[in-house]
Amino acid sequence: MPQLFKLFCNLALLNNFLPVIFFQINELSHIQIPVMLMPDDFKANSKIKVDNHLFNKENMPSHFKFKEYCPLVFRNLRERFSIDDQEYQNSLTRRAPIPSDAQGRSGSRFHTSYNRRYVIKIITSEDLAEMHNILKKYHQYIVECHGNTLLPQFLGMYRLTVDGDETYMTVTRNVFSHRLPVYKKYDLKGSTVAREASDKEKTKELPTYKDNDFINDGQKIYIDEENKKMFLEKLKNDVEFLAQLKLMDYSLLVGIHDVERGEQEQPEEESEDNDAGEEEGTESDGGATGSPPDSPSNTLDSNRPLGPGEFDPAIDVYAIKSHENAPKKEIYFMAVIDILTPYDAKKKAAHAAKTVKHGAGAEISTVNPEQYSKRFYDFITTILS
């Protein structure tokens, strides 16, 4: 399957996201798809070195190196998440990715693809090492659950080197919709110590609120029993898997779309080139398929245009509709994020320090993985109504 990358080069650490560098790689187009992955595939990489690159030389470096990690593994993951590689390539390369003012753990920066379907995240070398550490078990888990998970859908992992400075990136499926705007956003850990949005955060156009904000807002997630059962089953399996990997400090990202407000505002549509229909498929199928929720209440006739408050579960795989008796009609987008934090010596020391400061009974975020997963799951069960 072709892996044709016109790589967007984003030098966030150097200069606030420089313009895109397009670079084309054909390595995998000549490789036959293997029947099964081998152990060496989880260590492999593909490297490209570019010298005297003259395109748009006023804005871009003339020398850089690009590495794609474990290309066959991520190609297999994309296939298991029912993501078409041509659509994936087009989404990342047709136009410049959109920078986000959101900031992740350890100051991580984000872009979304121009059509809002994928998230490009700048990660640390520690995150890269942990990703390598868990990749084989993560892949096995995705195979066993048939892609039916709330975990991040990791689709690619890359390194860009310019003047000796290395930038690491992952690409994941966007938790939020490419067409239904989110009006409220929460990052929930099941902890109450220092878990509220800062005054600076609240000045953003779309702030990320936290556990205490969620509680103080009197917020609830109103989904029916069928969706609740399926959601909690996936969540339980996911957090048990993360506990087995000794991972902690992850969050449930919750985005809320207000259907009535969405009807009053101009709906966000994907902006495509005039020839997009030929290259990427129609709006109804988006050129891609996904892992749709099992609930028939989320099923949609993909041959008709989407109306206000409607979504294609093949694309918006994390979306769930509010139930009929909810105070207002909403769409919820919920997924587990930031899963690459191991419970190592550093975290154990942080746990000890916070316990001394806040007391043994305080709900601090830094606890061992088993305790973290149980508390996290128990808290999420309380927010569903």
Calpha distance 324→224 (Å, rounded): 8
Which entry of 41, 121, 185, 258 is annotated as an active-site residue? 121
Amino acid letter, residue 328? K
* Token digits of residue 347: 């975290």
Longest dimension (CA), the chain: 63
47 in active site: no
Calpha distance 59→31 (Å, rounded): 34
The residue length of the chain stands at 385
Which entry of 249, 258, 316, 338 is annotated as an active-site residue? 249
Contact 316, 332 (CB under 8 A): no
- Cβ count within 10 A of residue 24: 11
Q: How far is CA 30 from CA 4, 50, 76, in A?
A: 11, 21, 16
C-alpha closest to that of 197 among 183, 187, 184: 187
DSSP annotation string for 126-143? HHHHHHHHHHHHHHHHHH
Calpha distance 234→238 (Å, rounded): 6
Amino acid letter, residue 268? E
* Token digits of residue 33: 């798809």
Calpha distance 135→151 (Å, rounded): 13
Contact 109, 170 (CB under 8 A): no
Calpha distance 343→91 (Å, rounded): 35
- Classify the phi-psi angles of 80: left when phi > 0, otherwise alpha if psi is within -120 to 50, otherwise beta: alpha
249 in active site: yes
Element (H, E) at 64: strand 64-69
* Backbone torsions φ then ψ of 62, nearest 5 degrees: -90, -15
Active site residues: 121, 249
